[in-house]
Structure 1
Amino acid sequence: MKSPTPTGSKGKQRKRRRRASQIGPSTSGAKSLLLRAGLAGLGSARLWGEKYTMPKVLALPGDGIGPEIMDSALKVLDRLAEHAQMSFEIDFDLLHGASFDQHRTFCTQVVLDKARDSHAVLVGAVGGPAWDNIRLPGGPENQDGLMFLRHHLQTFLGLRPARSWGPLVSQSPLRPERTQGAEIMILREMCGGAMFARDRGLGLVDGRRRGYDLTAYDETEVERFARGGFELARQRRGRVVSCDKSNVMESYKLWRAVVNEVAADYPDVAFENMFADNCAFQLMARPGYFDVVLCCNQLGDLFSDLTGVLSGSLGMLPSACLVGDPGLGRCFGIYESTGGSAPDIAGRGIANPLGMILSVGLMFEHSFARRDLSRILDQAVEATLAAGYSTQDIGGTATTAAMTDALLTALDQQLRAADRG
């Protein structure tokens, strides 16, 4: 099935539906401080209420390889939906460069409104040299379509998982005995810190060029983020490491103080602080030690790529940006591959679709409370790699289409096995 061409903000919307039974809300009625704090900036974004509703997904293919890997992801979404007898309504639109070329803005108000009316957003990839030096009026969120969505929807909880895939151990620069079984969740704060600094600028001081970005966090931003990390750790191996530079920076002194206060509410979760430079070393020296790693926006951006060496390629890395309590399985989220738009290979049909496909798995787990389907998809990816299928970035020759077809075949086998129990 081909993915429909995205529309602009004007004209008839392109939508599709799978006709099947509907799904209902989570049975959990917990209303934690994390949930309340997270929803404070969400505005009218669609949440799971008491009545059953058809889940709505907004697909934003974006730039570069984005449309290619989005097509693969939607095929997987359809296969999982059909198996689970779920019905989705999917809408399409433009983001970042594709949006700027048509509307002279990186994200239109129409797209933001569509996102607010959806349960989840899928993003292919954004960015490219054609738009790198464009500066629009307004704050940092106006310079990037994805940042615009994160800011206005307050998707503060950034999940950046990285794991060692058995068939790809030779693709990692780390020794196999160090990476074996490693599975790390870099948790990145997505809506504050240096990336969204209001006090920033370029200018001349005493005749010399000077650039600055003021890093700042308030306690509410840190607390809601930290609680999300501890809730997530309870679903995993129960260990949290918070990284900071509290030895030299005031914003990190607050960060450490607030995280320590939150940690006291989770005595069942192992916890420790690390200075960021030591944490970077330890992540590479003993990756198997780590489970959930709490990072500010800037450090999370760096560490999520750093831990990507476990997987052998950035094209293997999925991501989610959530608002709310990840323990409920009904978060609003933005889901994307973190491999980038790769304009150098766009249109050649050789992009690795697995990071985007795995992002669909995260969507099923965190927005639609179907962790079982996410695990089955992980198993299908492992089986596909074990069968020898790999794209160029992970040492093979498979095309995007061939990789997707092989994955769908493996997924069908895993779904049948799950049905048999």
Structure 2
Amino acid sequence: MHADIVVLPGDGIGPEVATAAVAVLKSIAQLYDHDFQFQEHDIGGVAIDRHGVPLPDATTTACQQADAVLLGAVGGPKWSDPNAKVRPEQGLLAIRKALGLFANLRPVRPHGAALDASPIKPHLLAGVDIVVVRELTGGIYFGEKTRTAEAASDLCSYSVAEIERVMRSAFKLARARRGKVTSVDKANVLETSRLWRDVATRIGREEFPDVALEHQLVDSMAMHLLAKPREYDVIVTENMFGDILTDEASMLAGSLGLLPSASLGEEGKVGLYEPIHGSAPDIAGKGIANPYATILSAAMLLRHSLGLEEEAQAIERAVGAALEDKAFTADLAPPGNALSTTQATEAVLSRLGVPA
């Protein structure tokens, strides 16, 4: 199989973890006789430094023409002035919009060997297997913004069509899993959430009667997600709530460095794959970043954009085997026992069976 993959290393530890994922993808191509072609482009802070904008036109065009996009991370203290007119995160929001990516899938599946890294009691984590579906292109992040010396506002807005399409993604995913959707909102306060709940109820009743649907307020969901995570299958929510809840959910797995994501649009369109962690500027360039989330994002790329399920599972098994053998980076390992980014990547490659 031939596939053109655009790599957006970005900022901070982004280039380090992206390099690790590309090495794994190249090995998969070798093992399964595929032809993967890679090209790098700028996004985020590095793009601001080189081009004056966080998302150059050349990057957008290359991504639109690719079969899939792999992203490292964006942002850092160099560009963190909240009053700056140009910020790295604008590049991430813009590429999602340009590619029509409206559903962000974030799986959370704690690995038995890494349970000690989680602050949650191990008996609560056994058997946890959740996918959070976060709406990506609407809500308060994209609404009209105003600011004066005396006040500021951010408009949260959702259309029926925006809610319908992410709901359908969540219900389809649940139908192929354990058949349960939990829709998270703040319908006791917000009109956008009341619309969200109405649309979710209608889509579930009319189009997916075989899938169980429950509603949960976001504040209570934040509690239940840690107190009884085994009860959840697919969780679907709006942009900001999803952003917050998935960082919380990372504590179930023990580290942000273990959680991948896939940003998807209409079927057949380009998908974007990235770890959910940030650019971690405090450890950038030290060679100690955890590459597993980005490698697992590459597995999601193979599954969702290229239809290569066997190859995706091979990567996931290899990462699982590395974790089982305590191939931990600093975010997971006891002091003095941590592997470098390169060593962790090699641990995955060796378990894939890559010839030396």
- Answer yes or no: is 1:301 the counterpart of 2:247: no
Paired position in structure 2 for 1:364: 302
Paired position in structure 1 for 2:252: 310
Paired position in structure 2 for 1:241: 182
Paired position in structure 2 for 1:211: 152
TM superposition shift of 1:376: 2.1
Superposed counterparts of 1:17-416, under 5 Å: 22=1, 54-133=2-81, 135-136=84-85, 144-198=90-144, 200-204=145-149, 209-264=150-205, 265-325=207-267, 330-395=268-333, 396-412=337-353
TM superposition shift of 1:124: 0.7
Tell me the distance in 2 between the aligned counterparts of 1:220 and 1:135: 33
Which TM-score applies when normalising by structure 1? 0.81
TM superposition shift of 1:82: 1.8
Tell me the distance in 2 between the aligned counterparts of 1:259 and 1:111: 35
Query: Residue type of the partner of 2:176?
Result: Q
> Which runs of structure 1 show a deviation greater than 4 angstroms over 4 or more consecutive aligned residues?
none
How large is the Cα RMSD of the aligned pairs?
1.6
For residues 365-397 of structure 1, what are the alpha-carbon distances to aligned partners after superposition, in whole Å with 9 as ceiling and x for unaligned? Answer: 100112222222221111101112100001241
Gaps of 5+ in 2: none
Tell me the distance in 1 between the aligned counterparts of 2:127 and 2:30: 32
Gaps of 5+ in 1: 1-21, 23-53, 416-421
Tell me the distance in 2 between the aligned counterparts of 1:191 and 1:144: 12
TM superposition shift of 1:143: 5.5
Are the aligned partners of 2:100 and 2:266 in contact in 1 as well (CA < 8 Å)? no
Are the aligned partners of 1:243 and 1:276 in contact in 2 as well (CA < 8 Å)? yes
Q: Aligned pairs, how many? A: 350
Matched residue of 2:262: which SS? strand
For residues 150-202 of structure 1, what are the alpha-carbon distances to aligned partners after superposition, in whole Å with 9 as ceiling and x for unaligned? Answer: 1121200101111111101111111111011201111100000001112x122
Tell me the distance in 1 between the aligned counterparts of 2:213 and 2:344: 39
Tell me the distance in 2 between the aligned counterparts of 1:267 and 1:251: 24
Matched residue of 1:302: which SS? helix
TM superposition shift of 1:211: 1.8
TM superposition shift of 1:356: 0.4
